[in-house]
Amino acid sequence: MGKIIAVTNQKGGVGKTTTSINLSAALGAFGKKVLLVDVDPQGNATSGLGVNKKQITQSTYNLLIDGCRAESILIRTEFKNVDLLPCNMNLAGAEIELVDLSERTMRLRKGLLPLKREYDFIIIDCPPSLGLITLNALSCCDSLLIPIQCEYYALEGLSQLIATVKQVKRLYNPAIQIEGVLLTMFDARLNLTVQVVEEVKKYFPGKVFATSIPRNVRLSEAPSFGQPILYFDRSSKGSKAYEQLAEEVIVNNK
């Protein structure tokens, strides 16, 4: 039975999609069967795996709104052991449409649970908000991975996320846990980075990954080529960091 991990932080620009894409690719390279689920209306996880959003006719929108079977929208990517449930522009209106639907917070769960036996890991790339789409992800995941950028306002808004998780745990998903907190845009030369790391470790004792993701030009270039960093530049610092993160995740889930 596979594990569903939601990559979430309502703060934008923290490396959420970068982590979803590159953790998925690294897990796949280690022989794990992975499904990446793009439920961020921006669709960057979809294009980051080289899929043209404009050519997609069925997407996670149809899974959430129409109750389509996941198998009917699934794409086999060119990257080892990585499949994709893609997103297109239709998802932008889903927040409003979900309001009037029955079981509005459980629709992603209904779509993904039949696939748990087929994958070792299902990674969900969430929107940078705490709306109904993110609630759907939290209601169906086993754990959440929280990327935090090493910047001055790193912990801003996280108390709201944790409060939402507690509410989801009480109402919809009692099994939800924190997989780990991932420090991104890490630069050990900066005093601010050291301060942020200490602060995050106090806020999430025992939950911060040993691996951190460095600032890396090649990492930011890879999405424009539609490739995970592992395939775009395997020798880069960013690639090695995501391989280490994948190893941590695998060890933690043995």
Please report the pLDDT score of residue 82 as a whole number: 98
Q: In this predicted model, what pLDDT tens digit does every residue of 134-173 receive, in sequence order?
A: 999 999 999 999 999 988 888 888 888 899 999 999 999 9
- Parallel, antiparallel, or unpaired: how do β-strands 75-76 and 82-85 relate? antiparallel
Check residue 176 and give its pLDDT: 96
Q: What's the confidence (pLDDT) of residue 12?
A: 86
Provide CATH code, domain 3-252: 3.40.50.300
Q: Which two tokens stand for residue 76?
A: 């086999």
> How far from 38 is each of 87, 94, 151, 162, 239, CA to CA, in Å?
5, 13, 26, 22, 21
Q: At residue 5, what are phi and psi to the nearest 5 degrees? A: -120, 120
Domains of the chain, residue spans? 3-252
Q: What DSSP designation does 62 have? A: I
pLDDT for 88: 93
State the residue for tokens 């932008």. Answer: 92
Q: List, for the chain, all residue ranges whose pLDDT scores fall below the cut of 50.
A: none
Give 105-115 pLDDT, tens digit per residue: 999 999 999 99
Cα–Cα dist 143/236, whole Å: 29
- Any residues with CB less than 8 A from the CB of 227 and at least 6 apart, and which? 48, 49, 50, 79
Does pTM surpass 0.85? yes
- Per-residue model confidence (pLDDT) at position 202: 92
DSSP string, 118-156: G-SEEEEE--SS-SHHHHHHHHH-SEEEEEEESSTTTTT
The pLDDT score that the predictor gives to residue 188 is 82
Q: Please tell me the predicted confidence (pLDDT) of residue 66.
A: 93
Distance separating alpha carbons of residues 10 and 147, to the nearest angstrom: 10
Residue 59 region by backbone torsions, left for phi larger than 0, else alpha for psi between -120 and 50, else beta? beta
pLDDT given for residue 77 in this prediction:
97
pLDDT of residue 98: 94
**∠ CA 90-83-254, rounded to 5°:** 125
> Quick one: CA dihedral 112, 14, 206, 171, positive or negative?
negative
